[in-house]
Amino acid sequence: MKTQGDFRDPEKVRHLLDAIAQKTSKNWSIMEICGGQTHVFLKYGLDKLLPSQIDLLHGPGCPVCVTAAEFIDMAIQIARQPDTLVVSFGDMLRVPGSCLDLLSARAEGAAVQMVYSPLDALEIAQKEPKRQVVFFAVGFETTAPAIALTIVNAQRNQISNFSVLCAHVRVPPAMTALLSNPAHRIDGFLAAGHVCTVMGSNEYYEIAKKFSVPIVITGFEPLDILYGVYRCIVRLEDKQPGVENAYARVTREQGNATAQQILQQVFQVVDRNWRGLGLIPLGGFQIREEYGQFDALRRFSHLSPVSVAADDLCMGGKVLQGLMKPDQCPYFATRCSPEHPLGAPMVSSEGACAAYYRYRRNE
Over the stretch 71-84, which tens digit does the pLDDT of each residue have? 999 999 999 999 99
What confidence category does residue 173 fall into, taking pLDDT thresholds of 50, 70 and 90? very high
Partnered with residue 179 across adjacent β-strands are: none
Per-residue pLDDT at 305? 62
Per-residue pLDDT at 3? 61
**pLDDT of 255 higher than 80:** yes
Question: Mean pLDDT across the stretch 128-151?
Answer: 96
Nearest to 249 by CA among 273, 269, 223: 223
Per-residue pLDDT at 266? 98
What are the residue ranges of CATH 3.40.50.11740 in the chain?
25-311
State which amino acid sits at residue 120. Answer: D
Q: Give the whole-angstrom CA distance, residue 350 versus residue 41.
A: 12
Question: Mean pLDDT across the stretch 108-135?
Answer: 95
Contact 43, 359 (CB under 8 A): yes
**pLDDT of 348 higher than 90:** no
Question: Mean pLDDT across the stretch 145-164?
Answer: 96
Contact 191, 218 (CB under 8 A): yes
Question: How many residues in the chain?
Answer: 363
Contact 214, 241 (CB under 8 A): yes
| CATH architecture label of 25-311 | 3-Layer(aba) Sandwich (3.40)
Q: Give the whole-angstrom CA distance, residue 30 versus residue 240.
A: 15
Per-residue pLDDT at 98? 86
What confidence category does residue 312 fall into, taking pLDDT thresholds of 50, 70 and 90? low
Contact 223, 7 (CB under 8 A): yes
> What three-state secondary structure class fits 92?
helix
Contact 155, 127 (CB under 8 A): no
Per-residue pLDDT at 350? 87
Sign for the pseudo-dihedral over CA of 206, 211, 212, 215: negative
Partnered with residue 85 across adjacent β-strands are: 133
Question: Mean pLDDT across the stretch 119-135?
Answer: 96
Q: Give the whole-angstrom CA distance, residue 20 versus residue 12.
A: 12
What confidence category does residue 178 fall into, taking pLDDT thresholds of 50, 70 and 90? very high
- By CB atoms closer than 10 A (0-12, 13-18, 19+), residue 220 is middle
Per-residue pLDDT at 304? 76
**pLDDT of 180 higher than 70:** yes
Higher pLDDT, 7 or 172: 172
Question: Mean pLDDT across the stretch 187-194?
Answer: 95
**pLDDT of 150 higher than 90:** yes
Nearest to 352 by CA among 84, 39, 75: 39
Nearest to 349 by CA among 34, 101, 62: 62
What confidence category does residue 44 fall into, taking pLDDT thresholds of 50, 70 and 90? very high
Q: Give the whole-angstrom CA distance, residue 198 versus residue 186.
A: 25
Residue ranges in the chain assigned as alpha helix (H)? 10-23, 35-43, 46-49, 63-66, 69-79, 102-107, 118-127, 144-156, 171-180, 193-199, 202-211, 222-237, 257-266, 296-299, 316-320, 344-347, 352-360
Q: Give the whole-angstrom CA distance, residue 82 versus residue 166.
A: 21
What confidence category does residue 308 fall into, taking pLDDT thresholds of 50, 70 and 90? low
Question: Mean pLDDT across the stretch 243-269?
Answer: 95
Higher pLDDT, 220 or 312: 220
> What three-state secondary structure class fits 241?
coil
Question: Mean pLDDT across the stretch 123-142?
Answer: 96
Q: Give the whole-angstrom CA distance, residue 147 versus residue 138.
A: 9
Contact 301, 165 (CB under 8 A): no
